[in-house]
Structure 1
Amino acid sequence: MTTKIILDTDPGIDDAMAILFAEASPEIELVGLTTVYGNADIDISTRNALYLKQRFGFKCDVAQGASKPLKRQPVGASIAVHGENGFGDVKIKAPTISADPRPAHQYIIETVKASPGEITLVAVGPLTNLALALEQAPEITKLVKEVVIMGGAFGTHEHTGNVTPFAEANVYDDPHAADTVFTADWPVTVIGLDVTHEAFFSTDYIDTLRDTCGDVGEFVWDISRFYLDFYKSRMGVNGCFVHDSSAIAYVIDPSLFEVRGGPIRVVCDGPAEGMTLQKHNDTKHKADEWADWPAQNVAVKVNDQALLDLYLDTITSYSS
């Protein structure tokens, strides 16, 4: 049985890898791509989503979303990581197709209401679109099947942040939206740096994608040149962590991950802005900002080799 998903995304090199993974998987029906600012500004994010749809023949909808955070000042596009055009400055043709006329949050609301209990929301960028959907239609918490988020960092395996010492980029871009999404009364699983930094696409692995996965593999290889240069210069590694594709892997096979439960809150200002904190025990406290919120899941372990095998096998089968 396939899982219907709306993938909320800011494409983005690793987003493109995840989008292609979702489209390629026989376990997933990619219903829609909703775009958000983050790795690139909103117009570039939407153009990139439309480009992928047209180039690879996706049937999904594309809806353009938020251009800025709910409250905080925008931090700007991640040009140093993804290039000026979001795809590592690889030249692409302008798509000739258009986005859905509805704003992303409205598209989410209407699609979820049309298929109650069937849609999983997968968010791999800032969570502004999901927060806007909750603000306008809080009843969707009872209609969504699940929410899977790539974001956050909870200190497992000493992974605490990638844009500040204690904040992950997607949450840091809009901490107020993230806190809204994490504390809503719907089932959330967070795939954060705790596990995405435990899985690694080596340069040899991406070379294998190029050599065995046709046009898809060649595209992933091309756009990843810029991304891998960033990782090499910043961290001295030959490859990149498996961020957004880990969220797709969870949807396909949750058994690849070990999760723990407990309410989650986000620090929304000050030097720890964007920090994610989970209360994962039942200890009672006089003051407790977690006690009255629903328990959500945080991934704390991953079978990294099985994840890598799943990605390669899925893209190989799709390309053939």
Structure 2
Amino acid sequence: MNKKPLIISTDPGIDDIAAMTISFFAKELDVRMIVPTWGNVQLEYTLQNTLNLEKFLHTKVPVVVGANQPLVAPMISAASVHGKIGIAGFDFEEADRSLVKPGLAATVMAEEIKNSPEKVTLLGIGPLTDYALLFKQYPEVKENIDQIVIMGGNIGRGNHSPLAEYNIAGDPEAAQVVFHSGLPIKVAPLEIGNKAHLTQDQMSKVKECGEVGNMLYSLFSHIHEPDGDPRIKIYDPTAVGILLHPEMFTLKKANVEIELRGQFTYGASVINFMDQEHANAEIATDVDLDQFSKWFIDSIKNSDQGRE
């Protein structure tokens, strides 16, 4: 099997930890690089969380330091949901910085993409700042990118503001650049994360998946949803699910624009399913919950077995 080369931009964050863990050990993927960016919490924390996860998992994927703030927008934070350092609920052993690869993220990503014999996939599970910088500084890399898979945006109401989802609201200008990149884009919006939840019984099965399962169970048990919903919602891993098993999802083409000027709607994702002529993305509108939950639990088992 030819593995898909993958670069991950992430802001861990609890659900980012799950998405990275699954990606590292998925037999279909070759994770070439992790680019932690500011997002759920500040860059100093997201970087250290990434390194700590790799130490825990015994993986050696290069880490490149990403952006420490949005392109234009004021910085926001989700520390109230994920904890001050982004990973409340589990004490990782602190890692050194031996996996950190020097250089600006856009430049290092561009070199990796240009030199890859196979087209590279980009996974964006945080604000899209670094991918926007990549496309603005090195537009020629698009020729060797297969697709972009994003967890972000919302069809209806938002979770950061009434009409904006957190990852897109974090850097709306960057998101607009990415959606206008001309590349194939698949999106797991907020609604899919809301649907792709796990019950407490299913989370107990996750806990039984060895040390990796216990780690993720501990993290997810400490998520505090703003709306008080007790279900365990699995946001970022839905993007990995779309990448690996799109058949689990209903995908519909749409034109996506990001609101950049509205006083009360700044950062909103304007997803227009009626404008097929200018469609620039495929949006997941539904998920087979039984298939997804089974895949998620099986992926955690696989990750625990793959951890040496």
The alignment's TM-score, normalised by the length of structure 1, stands at: 0.90
1:152-301 matched pairs, under 5 angstroms: 152-155=153-156, 160-211=157-208, 213-227=209-223, 230-231=224-225, 234-269=226-261, 270-282=263-275, 295-301=280-286
Name the structure 1 match of 2:40.
39
Name the structure 1 match of 2:149.
148
Return the alpha-carbon distance in structure 1 between the equivalents of residues 294 and 195 of structure 2.
15
**Residue 307 of structure 1 is aligned with which of 288, 292, 297?**
292
Name the structure 2 match of 1:95.
95
- 1:280 is displaced (CA, Å) by 2.5
Segments of 5+ residues of structure 2 without an aligned counterpart are none
1:119·1:145 contact (CA, 8 Å) conserved in 2?
Answer: yes
Question: For 1:299, what is the secondary structure of its paired residue?
Answer: strand
1:11·1:49 contact (CA, 8 Å) conserved in 2?
Answer: yes
**Matched-pair identity in %:** 27
Deviations 1:85-113, CA, capped at 9 Å, x for gaps: 21115333221233111222222211111
Instruction: In structure 1, give the amino acid aligned to 2:237.
Output: S
Question: For 2:145, what is the secondary structure of its paired residue?
Answer: coil
Deviations 1:151-202, CA, capped at 9 Å, x for gaps: 00013xxxx2111111000000000000110111111111111322111022
- 1:294 is displaced (CA, Å) by 5.6
Question: For 2:182, what is the secondary structure of its paired residue?
Answer: coil
Return the alpha-carbon distance in structure 1 between the equivalents of residues 36 and 186 of structure 2.
20
Name the structure 1 match of 2:20.
19
The number of residue pairs the alignment matches comes to: 302
The alignment's TM-score, normalised by the length of structure 2, stands at: 0.93
Instruction: In structure 2, give the amino acid aligned to 1:314.
Output: S
Return the alpha-carbon distance in structure 1 between the equivalents of residues 74 and 84 of structure 2.
20
- 1:257 is displaced (CA, Å) by 1.2
Return the alpha-carbon distance in structure 2 between the equivalents of residues 266 and 3 of structure 1.
29
Question: For 1:166, what is the secondary structure of its paired residue?
Answer: coil
Name the structure 2 match of 1:319.
304
